[in-house]
Amino acid sequence: MDADRVTALPNPLSLVPSQAAPWREEEATHSMRSLAYFIGTFVVALMLGIGSAWYMIERGSPLTTTKVGPWDGWVSEGNPSADPYTEAHVARSGRLPLSSTVARYFVARTDSAGHTLTSACQYSIVGSPLNARWWSLAVYDEYGGLIENPSARYSFNNEELLRHADGSYRVNLSSKARPENWLPSGTVDQPLVLLLRVYSPRETDGSGIGLIPGDRLPKIERTGCE
Amino acid sequence: MRVRIPGLYIVLGLVLAGLIHIIAVLTLPMLAPRNAHARLAALGPANTMIELPAAAPGRQAMPMMAPDVRYAFCRFDLANGPIRLRAAIADELWLIALYTPEGENFYTVAGADMKRPQLDLIIAATDQTVEEAGVDAPESSDEVLVVNAPVTEGIALIRAPLAGPSRAARAEHALKDTSCGPYTKG
């Protein structure tokens, strides 16, 4: 009884090849190809979807960030009305940034020429004063950790920087001691991240977000590599 | 036939990728296990002011902490009533910021904006009422600040930026005098 029912099922895969009409065989390879296409499409879609989401959350996009030279600033960081990308960025970062109406943060992973910042090279960071109550330039490893160095110097803020007569400054980012403002990049060969935090900018845009003109952000020039 | 099928799959793939992208972006804030709230919750109980040690290599409560800012935080929980935060603002650079667990900075007051250096801030949930002298009278509202939090749990973070390296000890001392605890009248 059971055996009768099995043979009665119109299952093309159970047909022996001699019984299969040529068009049926073609249909079988056709559906196999469809399945492969479908799986392939799904895998590509998964990579595209996750990859684009990761990139836009981690590094930003024109929707969420302003890019001036090497500096990326998230326009709505910490803001309660921030877009989902910015919210995801903040949650993932593990930081508690002040709302962009109170402070602005600018991150650089490359020098002004676009080369990745690394402790194997020396950099000259030249800038002018910012119109804010307090600001500070700090260097981190790629995970946001401070870098061990003998002088325990991890940042320069507006009160500490040695300045030129016109108020401009130069910070020397390098592993070996330099004159002027030496920001040590440590002895471990690794990529670096610079963070410029600007608390209470005095100028704001129409929506109250702190405004730092792009030309006020420091230039990062590579002066040599080991 | 062979030309038409890939075209269909490209459209399907793009639609799928778009959907996956949107789902990933929207669910990520909830799925980030190492967000700031989780990191700070591991450091101590709620409704207590906890001073963070000065950021140094290998000793950072959160990534990218400012080495030239001293921090103290209070993880507030309004389940049993409002929370009162008091601080003697030692410096006009100080910033007192309130956050949701997801890191939205819904309220900030700067030392420079305060009329007097004594901060007395009450954090209440939207359904909690605070009866305090001066709260209802706008002209004396600089006495007590009442903030209606959009969440029942969150973080109050005090930042004391250092005007110079010699100010560290003073800022750390001033942060020790801040307090955070259940609200009691008066």
A132 and chain B in contact, CB less than 8 A: no
A88–B56 CB contact, under 8 Å: no
Q: Which tokens hold the place of B69?
A: 């800012």
Q: Which tokens hold the place of B135?
A: 């709260």
In what helix (H) or strand (E) does residue B21 lie, and over which residues does it extend? helix B4-31
A159 and chain B in contact, CB less than 8 A: yes
A78–B103 CB contact, under 8 Å: yes
Q: How many angstroms separate the CA atoms of A143 and A141, rounded?
A: 5
Predicted confidence pLDDT, tens digits, chain A (226 residues): 444 444 444 555 544 555 545 556 667 788 888 888 889 899 999 999 999 999 999 999 999 999 999 999 999 999 999 999 999 999 999 999 999 999 999 999 999 999 999 999 999 999 999 999 999 999 999 999 999 999 999 999 999 999 998 889 999 999 998 888 999 999 999 999 999 999 999 999 888 899 999 889 999 999 999 8
Q: How many angstroms separate the CA atoms of B143 and A98, rounded?
A: 24
Query: How far apart are the CA of A34 and the nearest CA of chain B, in angstroms?
Result: 9
Q: How many angstroms separate the CA atoms of A71 and B162, rounded?
A: 24
A26 and chain B in contact, CB less than 8 A: no
- Nearest alpha carbon to residue A155 among A135, A126, A175, A169: A135
B68–A136 CB contact, under 8 Å: yes
Q: Which amino acid is at A54?
A: W
**Distances in Å between the alpha carbon of A201 and those of A74, A129, A198, B96?**
15, 12, 6, 16
The residue of chain B nearest to residue A193, with distances taken between CA atoms, is B64
- Does the CA dihedral B1-B3-B5-B8 come out positive or negative? negative
Query: How far apart are the CA of B186 and the nearest CA of chain A, in angstroms?
Result: 30
- Give the pLDDT confidence score for residue A33 in this predicted structure: 81
The residue of chain A nearest to residue B20, with distances taken between CA atoms, is A49
Locate tokens 């073609």: which residue?
Answer: A26
Average pLDDT, chain B: 87
B160 compared with A37, residue with greater pLDDT: B160
Query: How far apart are the CA of B45 and the nearest CA of chain A, in angstroms?
Result: 19
Q: What is the pLDDT of residues B130-150, one digit of tens each?
A: 776 555 544 445 578 899 999
Residues of B in contact with A34 (CB under 8 A): 5
**Close Cβ partners of A142 (under 8 Å, ≥ 6 residues apart):** A109, A190, A191, A192, A193
B17–A45 CB contact, under 8 Å: yes
ipTM of the complex: 0.88
Beta bridge partners of B157: B73, B97
Most B CBs within 10 Å: which of A83, A96, A158, as the mutation test of the B interface? Answer: A96
The alpha carbon of residue A47 and the mean position of all alpha carbons in its chain are separated, in whole angstroms, by: 18
DSSP string of A116-144, one letter each residue: BPBTTEEEEEEE---SEEEEEEEEEETTS
Residues of B in contact with A85 (CB under 8 A): 25
Q: What is the pLDDT of residues B91-104, one digit of tens each?
A: 889 999 999 998 99
> By three-state DSSP, how is residue A55 classified?
helix
Interface A-B, measured as beta-carbon pairs within 8 A, has a size of 190
- Give the pLDDT confidence score for residue B57 in this predicted structure: 94
- Give the pLDDT confidence score for residue B118 in this predicted structure: 87
The number of beta carbons lying within 10 Å of the beta carbon of residue A38 is 13
The number of beta carbons lying within 10 Å of the beta carbon of residue B57 is 16
- Give the pLDDT confidence score for residue A15 in this predicted structure: 47
Which residues 100-139 of B have a C-beta within 8 angstroms of A?
100, 102-106, 108, 110, 112
Q: How many angstroms separate the CA atoms of A99 and A76, rounded?
A: 7
- How confident is the model over B158-184, as a mean pLDDT? 90
Q: What is the pLDDT of residues B39-84, one digit of tens each?
A: 999 999 999 999 999 999 999 999 999 999 999 999 999 999 999 9
A14 and chain B in contact, CB less than 8 A: no
pLDDT confidence tier of residue B179, bands split at 50, 70 and 90: very high
Query: How far apart are the CA of B106 and the nearest CA of chain A, in angstroms?
Result: 6
- Give the pLDDT confidence score for residue A28 in this predicted structure: 74
Q: Which of B32, B60, B65 is the closest to A91 by Cβ?
A: B32
B9–A56 CB contact, under 8 Å: no
Q: Which tokens hold the place of A11?
A: 């299952």
- Give the pLDDT confidence score for residue B142 in this predicted structure: 57
